[in-house]
Amino acid sequence: MLTEAMRKVTPQLVLLDAAAQPAGCTLPLFGLDAAALSARMAQAGEPAWRGRQLTEALYRQRLADLNEFTTLPKPLRQRLIAEGWQVGRPAVAQVFQSVDGTERYLIECGDAQTVETVWMPEGDDGDSGDEGDSANEAASSLAEGDSAHRRWKATLCVSSQIGCAVNCQFCLTAKLGLQRNLSAGEIAGQVVAVLARHAVEVGRDRVNLVFMGMGEPFLNYDSFMGAVRLLVTEVGLSPRRMTVSTSGIVPGIERFAAEPPEMRPRLALSLNAPNDSVREQLMPINRKWPIEAVLEAMRAVPMRPRERITFEYVLLAGVTDQPAHAREVARLARRSGLPVKVNLIAWNPGPGIDYTMPQPEAIESFRRTLIDEGIPAYLRKPRGRDIFAACGQLKRTVEG
């Protein structure tokens, strides 16, 4: 069944390299890596090892104000501030709290633009780390930790652009169009700001990152991977606990395939349809890069042991949730030759989008069919629907 909205889809021109604009402050330090910070210190006439102190303060101690950088001598701090240096980390401007514990943040990026980030305690059942540690993870999610601090197990959903140019017909973010790309510091800054807010202990708490907020990460590739490098190298997070989701940008997937394994997050594809003809109605990008071209690019990504690629699949009543669709998805998954699991997402409604939520029986029967066909399939819990924080609902809605 095609809805009126789907018939109206026209081919979409996608900007491959809209330039990242810098945030508002004059000399932002956040976003620079250890080498760049050392170079900045050398330029300021200081020994390069002061760069290491800055790195510690920015990414490990997560300080947001240069006045608090007490490892630097006070006169140096004062001189840097007088010269216009600032931390320049994106700041949480507004918080919306859901009844289910989810928090949605509007994060300010310094030019009056805000971006959305979502914190989901207990995760969302869809994107835990590499398969190998999921059993341990289940056990430790119950752990209380010591009396001082209950351990976190949470998923953090991060944005890569303000708005999105890809124009998927079921997604509220698409309604914004592309406002601008985020810089590496603005992407990593969302993470560090939220880790600071919840006093997360890196290495002890289990926080998964999903690059599944606003925007298409592979249309802002350099900033996205720059953020990953900062988060791995300076913040200390593991790329095996990060998942990047793409609508199927082939040149981005090709670059991703060449990243070193120790720096590469896990990969998810927003498949969302059982075949090209349905997919191109829902996702105009499919006309540029059809399913087989995307799978071909994905086959070049060297998988780690036990790693799987995730197919995300949004269930739209009558459009993608039929039993025949499930069988087609299973065949497609097998034919792909990829180690695949499927994350089913019941479509989250939004104003002005003309689809219908799937019935619970249709969701369960879809999942059952995939499992009976030998394809691992999970249902992603909708989180924070009451505050417009669920998948595809990120549009900087200020009520909630």
Contact 193, 107 (CB under 8 A): yes
H-helix or E-strand spanning residue 7: helix 4-7
The minimum distance between CB 247 and ligand SF4, in angstroms, equals 4
CA–CA dist 204, 174 (Å, integer)? 36
Q: Helix, strand, coil shares of the chain as percentages rounded to 5?
A: 35, 20, 45
The piece of 28-36, 107-115, 243-251, 254-262 that touches ligand SAH (CB under 6 A) is: 243-251
Q: Is residue 173 within the footprint of ligand SF4 (CB under 6 A)?
A: yes
Nearest to 180 by CA among 226, 210, 220: 220
Q: Tell me how far, at minimum, the Cβ of 273 lies from ligand SAH, in Å.
A: 10
Q: Which of 381, 380, 373 is nearest to 340 (CA)?
A: 373
Burial of 99 (0-12, 13-18, 19+ CB in 10 A): exposed
Give dist(CA 310, CA 376) in Å, integer: 10
Q: Which of the listed partners (ligand SAH, ligand SF4, none) does 336 bind, with a CB threshold of 5 to 8 Å by partner kind?
A: none
Residue number with CB closer to ligand SF4 (246 or 369): 246
Residue 107 β-bridge partners: 92, 115
Where in 135-174 is the site for ligand SAH (CB under 6 A)? 170-171
The CB-of-73 to ligand SF4 minimum distance in angstroms stands at: 46
Closer of 24 and 349 to ligand SAH (Cβ): 349
Candidate segments 17-25, 38-46, 160-168, 377-385, binder of ligand SF4 by CB under 6 A: 160-168
Total Cβ atoms within 10 A of residue 343: 24
* Residue 391 contact partner, candidates ligand SAH, ligand SF4, none, CB within 5 to 8 A by sort of partner: ligand SAH
Of ligand SAH, ligand SF4, none, which one does residue 194 interact with (CB within 5 to 8 Å by kind)? none
Q: Which one, 55 or 270, has the nearer CB to ligand SF4?
A: 270
Residue from 167, 247, 281, 336 touching ligand SAH (CB under 6 A): that is 247
Which of 196, 297, 292 lies closest to 251, judged by CA?
A: 297
Q: How far apart are CA 87 and CA 64, in angstroms?
A: 6
Q: Look at residues 367, 393, 386 and name the one whose alpha carbon lies nearest to residue 168.
A: 393
User: Using the rule CB under 6 A, is 391 a contact of ligand SAH?
Assistant: yes
Residue 312 binds which of ligand SF4, ligand SAH, none (CB < 5-8 A, kind-dependent): ligand SAH
When asked if residue 168 is in the footprint of ligand SF4 (CB under 6 A), the reply is yes
Does the footprint of ligand SAH cover residue 246 (CB under 6 A)? yes
66 binds, among ligand SF4, ligand SAH, none (CB under 5 to 8 A by kind): none
Per CB under 6 A, does 23 bind ligand SF4? Answer: no
The nearest distance, CB 169 to ligand SAH, in angstroms, is 9
User: Cα separation of 210 and 351, whole Å?
Assistant: 25
Catalytic residue numbers read: 116, 391
Residue 158 found at the interface with ligand SF4 (CB under 6 A): no
**Of the candidates 185, 177, 189, 255, which has an alpha carbon nearest to the alpha carbon of residue 215?**
177
DSSP string, 74-93: HHHHHHHHHTTEE----EEE
Please report how close the Cβ of residue 87 comes to ligand SAH at its closest, in angstroms: 28
Decide: is 212 part of the binding site for ligand SAH (CB under 6 A): yes
Q: With binding defined as CB under 6 A, does residue 286 bind ligand SAH? A: no
HSE of 344 in the Cβ direction (CA atoms, 13 Å)? Answer: 29
Q: Compute the least distance from the CB of residue 190 to ligand SAH, in Å.
A: 14
Residue 166 binds ligand SF4, judged by CB under 6 A: yes
Site for ligand SF4 contains 389 (CB under 6 A): no
DSSP 274: S
Residue that is written with structure tokens 């698409």 in the block: 174
Among the listed residues 20, 158, 174, 375, the single contact to ligand SF4 using CB under 6 A = 174
Return the number of the residue (55 or 161) whose C-beta is nearest ligand SAH: 161
Give the residue with the Cβ less far from ligand SAH, 130 or 312. 312
Q: How far is CA 259 from CA 5, 157, 222, 239, 339, in A?
A: 38, 22, 12, 12, 19
- Choose, by CB under 6 A, the member of 103, 108, 216, 321 that binds ligand SF4: 216
Residues that bind ligand SF4 (CB under 6 A): 164, 166-168, 171, 173-174, 215-216, 247, 270, 392
